[in-house]
Amino acid sequence: MSISSYEFLSVLQAQDEIAEEKAVQLDYPTLLESVRASIAQNHADELAAALDDVGAAAELKSLILKYAAELLAGRDYDRDGLTERIYQDMAGLGLLTPYLLDPAVEEININGYETVEIIRPSGTTFLYGTEAFATPSAALDVVKRMVRMGGMLLDAQTPRVDSYIGSGTRISAIIPPLVPQEQGVVVSIRKQVKSRLTREQMIEAGTATADMLDFLSTCLCYGVSIGVAGGTGSGKSTLMNYLLNEYIRTNDDSNNRIYIIEDSRELNLIGYDSANDRPARVLYTVTKGAPNPVSMFDLIVSSLRFHPAIIVPAEVRDGAAYQAAIAGQTGHTVLTSFHADGAQDAYKRLVALCNTAGTGLADARLLDMCIGAWPIVIYQKQLKDNSRKIMEVFEAIGQKNGQVRGNMLFRFQIEGVDRDGTGHITKICGSHQRCGCISPRLYARLRDNGASEELLKRLFPDAMTEVEVS
C-alpha cells in the first residue's frame, strides 16, 4: 500500500514519543550500525518496502528487535523504545520527525551529521553530540528518504538535489563527494508556515503600515504588477500570500483567475471571497525535475492559455524571469519574488536573471522590459531582532544611463537599536515613512482600471493626476 508524504508524516505524528534505551552498555551508534548492516545484508527487500508501505513497518520492526536482542543478550533495555528509535533512524525521519511536525519551526539546517539547527521565530536551537544523528550514514539515510518524498533521488550520480516533503516544505541536500565523507550530508529544509496573517497582524507586527498595505493591495487588484525582493527568510512568501488573499476577498471581477507556479507548494490561499459565496479561482502548478523536466519557464508559457488575471511565478531564479517579464508587458498582472538587496538593485537582479535565458538582447532593452513589467518593487528584510519589515516600496518610471529612475514611496527608517546586557540586539527601533508620491502615469492607470480616487488621494494627497504628454 503506497502512502503520500502527508500520510507518512501523519503516521509518524501519531506514534508515541521515542523512549531512550535503559542501561544499554553497547553505545547506540555502534548498535545502530550493526543492526543496519545485518538488515541491509539479509533483508534489503523488507527495508525498501518499509519506505513506501505502512504494512511493512511491523515486519521491519520485528527484524530490528531480533538483531538488537542478539546484540544485547543479557542486558536490561527498553525493547519497544529502542526498536522504535532504530526504526526511525533506518526507515523513518529520525530525530527530525517532531521538528517537521512542529508548526512553529520555520527552518531546519543540517551542517553535517553532528550539528542540526532548529530555527523558530523565537530563536535557534542547536542539536549536537548525542542529540544529533548517531553516524554520517544515519543522517544520510534520513535525508535520502525525505528527498524521495518529492520524487527525487540522492546518490553518488546526483549528489545535489532540490526536492520537497509534502506541501509547503522544501529541502536542498548535498552529499559526498561534494561534501567530506565524514560530514555525511549538508541540508537546508524550509517550511512554509500555514497560518494566514491578517492585515491587523501585519500592522501590529510592524511589517508595514495600513497605508502601505492598502496601496499594494490596490496595485494588485487593479492591474499593476509587483516584484517582491529580499533574502531567504525575509517574509516574501508571507507577503505574497497576504496580497493574493486580499485580492480574492475583495475582487468581484468574473475574470479573477490566479495561476500559481511553484517549485513546491507554499502559498496557502483562501477558498472563498469575504462574503463566502464565490469560490476562489486558483490554479496551482508545480515544476518537475528530471526525467522529463517541466520548468517554471515552461509553465509561464502555459499559463497564458488559461486567461489568468494574475500570474504568480512564486520565485524566479533563472531565465523564467524573462518569460515573466514578457507576460507583464503584454497586459497580464504578474506577482513574483526574487533575491535582491534593495528595491532599485532589484532591477539589476532581474536583468541578470533575464540574461540567463540567452535572449541576446542588450541590458538596456532588458531593463526597459523589467521596468515595464514590474512598475512596483517591494524590498523586504529580516532584521537582527528577527522582525520582518517592508524596507522599501519603489515605483520605477524609466532609466537614464543604465540607472533606474523612479519614486521611493515608502521606506522603513531605522532610528536605533536596543541591546541586552551581552550586547546582542533585542529590538530594532524605527518607523515607516511615506517618502514620495506615485507618478501621474501610475495614478491614471490605477484610476482608469477602477481604483478609488478617494483612496488614491488619501494615500498620496500631493499626487498629480494628469499625465504630461511629451
Please give the chain's pLDDT, 470 residues, in tens: 444 544 555 544 544 343 333 334 467 778 877 887 787 677 766 665 654 455 667 787 888 888 888 888 778 778 888 888 887 776 667 788 778 878 788 889 999 999 999 988 778 899 988 889 888 988 888 898 888 877 788 888 889 988 877 666 788 899 999 999 988 899 999 876 655 788 999 999 999 999 999 999 999 999 999 999 999 889 899 999 999 999 988 876 666 889 999 987 778 787 766 555 567 788 999 888 777 889 999 999 999 989 899 999 999 999 999 999 999 998 899 999 999 999 999 999 999 999 999 999 999 999 999 999 999 999 999 998 889 999 999 999 999 888 999 999 999 999 999 998 888 888 999 999 999 999 999 999 999 999 999 999 999 998 887 655 44
Alpha-carbon distance of 299 to 60, in angstroms, equals 42
Backbone angles phi and psi of 111, in degrees to 5: -100, 55
d(CA 249, CA 386): 30
Residue intervals of the chain classified under CATH 3.40.50.300 are: 199-436
d(C-alpha 364, C-alpha 368), whole Å: 6
What fold, for 99-191?
Beta-Lactamase (3.30.450)
pLDDT for position 250: 83
pLDDT value of residue 274: 57
Please, what is the angle between helix 343-355 and helix 363-373, to 10°? 120
Residues of CATH 3.30.450.90 domain(s) within the chain?
99-191
d(CA 278, CA 316): 31
Cis peptide bond prior to 279, omega within 30° of 0:
no
What topology does CATH give the domain 199-436? Rossmann fold (3.40.50)
Give the long-range contacts of residues 149-153, CB within 8 A, separation 24 or more: 149/5, 149/8, 150/5, 150/264, 151/289, 152/289
Distance CA 84, CA 92 (A): 9
CB 412 within 8 A of CB 391: yes
- The pTM (predicted TM-score) of the whole model is 0.71
Give the span between the Cα atoms of 121 and 115, in whole angstroms: 20
CA nearest neighbour of 168 among 258, 220, 221, 100 = 100
d(CA 295, CA 297): 5
Q: Which long-range contacts (CB under 8 A, 24 or more apart) does 275-283 make?
A: 280/248, 281/256, 281/257, 282/248, 282/257, 282/258, 283/257, 283/258, 283/259, 283/308
